[in-house]
């Protein structure tokens, strides 16, 4: 007899969510994790100086705060508190200017001059369908529940962001705002679907200002672990699975891992053709990240940048496009597009009084072994003169260190694989049910399955649902009812630092 009904390998947000879903259906579940602590991309640590809490990986929870499954698991009752900034994202431009995505769409429109009407005309109808549309976006490919809104999103979003921004807008502000949001795709900005990524991030920005988690992103992992423990899930840490026979016996195994890892671990459990697809799966560029302990806020020339949890540092759409293209084509960018997060502006637990944490990363070629510290800091200094003088200490991590830190970050890639057209329909391989494998007992639940990268747990939900149905003949039970309930997008703001 099997020791467990299900074993989940890897404790990232998707693995933990899958464990919660399986256990809430009454199954016995074990999570095995290679690292000494749980949480995958949801860890926080004092990387620089005592008293400074840095998010090691994910920092800003654009999709997490809108995730239907996080809502259904009621993570707030397990101690999670989202902290909402005044604005989601700021994008500084030359001349002490910036364009800001405020939750209030009219306030955003007001900055866009001649492009305001076109922005409103594009975003407002999507926003009206916001919650339902987001549910469709965060699902595997299927007939949408909100076909009209999805068709509208598809109409604007299928094309490249360069085509959308340069075709519909005339000013540098709107174009830069769209480009910065599209760069989260880690794709060159002339690729199909990059406009869609940009629109999803902007839609989210107008639903709830992109939050951080009080106490650090580890609070999300803690809440997921609490939810899992309350359903009876067991955990084993410091167990790195490299061969299938290391796993305890179970009726189902769910891998919260990169496809290539699964191809190695389950080489004798899967047919050659599927193994080939997993081995050839493209992970895309890596990241180079710097965390700073700062003796004060980042001194943005455009003061309003301090209102946002995220600052897109890279200048005009053409500059952002050049940088993203460089990373994708295997070149180092001299002027990288940098994603900056400023959690301590909103969450006083992150740094000693009067001091701040800073977080910035850029995309680099897969496996890049150079140092981007100077280039990243020069970009921030360009829009915030005096920034370097505020650095008390820094912590740096490039692709090789990322892969050592988490073997799922193959080549330093952090979002589960290339999200272009091919990666959209064959994630990780072309199958009607992308979470299943040709072996009925084995499932993929990581961000290398739909809907892809980011902290939202939805890959874990869909994979667990697939395993429940195929192996155990079960549905989601009570959790299914909670998932169907509307999920109010206005929730109380917790106390802010400034
Ligand atoms: C620098 C950085 C910044 C990011 N910023 C954001 C952000 O701001 N917002 C956002 O939403 N997302 C962000 N992300 C992406 C986000 O963290 C990931 O998409 C998310 O964590 C994926 O979750 P997962 O459960 O699929 O996998 P992971 O979080 O990668 O978890 C996989 C787990 O499996 C474990 N593991 C690996 N190999 C083995 C093995 N052989 N045996 C056992 N265990 C194993 C790992 O240790 C890890 O704990 C960022 C990521 C990074 C690295």
The string of pLDDT tens digits covering residues 63-87 is 999 999 999 999 999 999 999 999 9
Ligand 1 proximity of 34 Cβ (cutoff 6 Å): yes
Residue 238 has pLDDT above 70, yes or no: yes
Is 491's pLDDT higher than 50? no
Phi first, then psi: give them for residue 310, nearest 5 degrees.
-125, 140
Return the percentage of the chain with pLDDT > 70, whole number.
97
Q: How confident is the model at residue 496 (pLDDT cuts 50, 70, 90)?
A: very low
Distance 55 CA to ligand 1 centre (A): 12
Q: What number does CATH give the domain 4-42+62-80+213-282+417-484?
A: 3.50.50.60
CB-CB neighbours of 94 under 10 Å = 11
Mean pLDDT for all residues in the chain: 96
60 lines ligand 1 (CB under 6 A): yes
What mean pLDDT comes out for the span 465-480?
A: 96
Q: CA 363, CA 333: separation in Å to the nearest integer?
A: 9
Q: Which tens digit of pLDDT belongs to each residue from 411-467? A: 999 999 999 999 888 999 999 999 999 999 999 999 999 999 999 999 999 999 999
Our measurement of the distance from residue 113's CA atom to the centroid of its chain's CA atoms, rounded to an integer in Å, reads: 31
The pLDDT value given to residue 492: 31
Protein residue whose Cα sits closest to atom 24 of ligand 1: 12
Pocket test for ligand 1, best of 7, 8, 12 (most atoms within 8 A of CB): 12
Distance in Å, CA 102 to ligand 1 centroid: 28
Distance between CA atoms of 275 and 123, rounded to whole angstroms? 41
Question: Mind listing the pLDDT tens digit for each residue in 249-292?
Answer: 999 999 999 999 999 999 999 999 999 999 999 999 999 999 99
Q: Is 407 in the pocket of ligand 1 (CB under 6 A)?
A: yes
Instruction: List the one residue out of 145, 14, 17, 26 whose CA is nearest residue 486.
Output: 145
Ligand 1 contact via 103 beta carbon (within 6 Å): no
Angle between the 172-182 and 317-329 helix axes, to the nearest 10 degrees?
A: 30
Residue identifier of the C-alpha nearest atom 27 of ligand 1: 12
| The pLDDT value given to residue 488 | 61
457 in contact with ligand 1, CB cutoff 6 A: no
The rounded Å distance from CA 40 to ligand 1 centre is 5
Of 70, 129, 145, 14, the C-alpha closest to 482 is: 70
Alpha carbon distance 65, 188 (integer Å): 27
Residue of minimum CA distance from atom 6 in ligand 1: 58
When pLDDT is averaged across residues 309-322 and rounded to a whole number, the result is 98
Structure tokens at 481: 């009812």
Query: What share of the chain in percent tops pLDDT 90?
Result: 95
Asked if residue 447 has its Cβ within 6 Å of ligand 1, the reply is yes
Average pLDDT over residues 174-185: 98
What pLDDT, on a 0 to 100 scale, did the predictor assign at position 489? 55
**What integer pLDDT is reported at residue 142 of this predicted model?**
84
Q: Which residue's C-alpha comes closest to atom 17 of ligand 1?
A: 41
d(CA 197, CA 204): 11
How many angstroms separate the alpha carbon of residue 145 from the centre of ligand 1?
A: 29
Task: Kindly report the protein residue whose alpha carbon is nearest to atom 53 of ligand 1.
Answer: 57
Q: Report the pLDDT value the prediction gives residue 109, as an integer from 0 to 100.
A: 97
Mutate to test the pocket of ligand 1, among 9, 13, 30, 40 (most ligand atoms within 8 A of CB): 40
Domain ranges of the chain: 4-42+62-80+213-282+417-484
**372 Cα–ligand 1 center, Å:** 22
Structure tokens at 71: 């809502």
User: Distance, CA 458 to ligand 1 centroid (Å)?
Assistant: 14
pLDDT tens-digit profile of 133-172?
999 999 988 899 999 999 999 999 999 999 999 999 999 9
* Nearest to 471, CA basis, from 3, 15, 5, 4: 5
What value does the mean pLDDT take over residues 17-38?
Answer: 98
* Shortest-distance atom of ligand 1 to CA 402: 53
Our mutation pick for probing the ligand 1 site, out of 9, 16, 38, 41, counting the most ligand atoms within 8 A of Cβ, is 41
């Amino acid at each position: 007899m099997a020791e467990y009904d299900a074993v989940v390998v890897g404790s990232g947000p998707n693995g933990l969510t899958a464990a919660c879903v399986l256990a809430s259906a009454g199954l016995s579940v074990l999570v095995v994790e290679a690292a000494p602590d749980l949480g995958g991309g949801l860890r926080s640590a004092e990387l620089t100086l005592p008293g400074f809490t840095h998010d090691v990986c994910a920092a800003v929870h654009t999709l997490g705060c809108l995730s239907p499954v996080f809502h259904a698991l009621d993570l707030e009752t397990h101690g999670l508190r989202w902290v909402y900034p005044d604005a989601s994202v700021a994008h500084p431009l030359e001349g002490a200017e910036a364009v800001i995505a405020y939750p209030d769409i009219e306030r955003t429109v007001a900055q866009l001059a001649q492009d305001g009407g076109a922005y409103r005309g594009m975003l407002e109808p999507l926003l009206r369908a916001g919650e339902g549309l987001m549910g469709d976006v965060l699902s595997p490919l299927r007939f949408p529940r909100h076909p009209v809104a999805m068709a509208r999103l598809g109409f604007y979003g299928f094309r490249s962001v360069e085509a959308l921004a340069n075709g519909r807008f005339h000013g540098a502000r709107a174009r830069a705002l769209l480009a910065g949001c599209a760069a989260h795709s880690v794709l060159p900005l002339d690729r199909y679907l990059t406009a869609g990524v940009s629109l999803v991030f902007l839609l989210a920005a107008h639903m709830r200002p992109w939050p951080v988690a009080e106490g650090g992103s580890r609070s999300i992992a803690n809440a997921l672990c609490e939810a899992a423990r309350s359903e009876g899930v067991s955990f084993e840490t410091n167990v790195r699975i490299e061969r299938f026979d290391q796993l305890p016996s179970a009726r189902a195994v769910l891998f919260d891992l990169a496809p290539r890892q699964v191809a190695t671990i389950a080489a004798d459990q899967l047919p050659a053709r599927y193994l080939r697809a997993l081995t050839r799966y493209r992970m895309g560029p890596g990241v180079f990240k710097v965390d700073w302990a700062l003796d004060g806020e980042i001194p943005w020339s455009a003061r309003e940048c301090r209102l946002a949890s995220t600052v897109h540092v890279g200048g005009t759409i053409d500059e952002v496009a050049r940088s993203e293209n460089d990373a994708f084509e295997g070149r180092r960018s001299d002027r990288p597009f940098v994603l900056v997060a400023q959690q301590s502006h909103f969450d006083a637990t992150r740094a000693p009084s009067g001091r701040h944490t800073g977080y910035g990363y850029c995309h680099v070629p897969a496996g890049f072994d150079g140092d981007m510290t100077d280039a990243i800091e020069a970009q921030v200094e360009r829009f915030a003169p005096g920034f370097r003088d505020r650095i008390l200490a820094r912590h740096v991590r490039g692709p090789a260190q990322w892969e050592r830190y988490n073997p799922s970050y193959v080549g330093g890639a952090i979002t589960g694989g290339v999200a272009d057209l091919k990666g959209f329909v064959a994630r990780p391989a072309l199958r009607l049910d992308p979470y299943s494998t040709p072996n009925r007992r084995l499932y993929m639940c990581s961000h290398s399955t739909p809907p892809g990268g980011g902290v939202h747990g939805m890959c874990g939900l869909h994979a667990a649902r697939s395993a429940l149905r195929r192996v155990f003949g079960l549905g989601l039970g009570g959790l299914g009812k909670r998932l169907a309930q509307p999920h109010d997008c206005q929730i109380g703001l917790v106390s802010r630092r400034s």
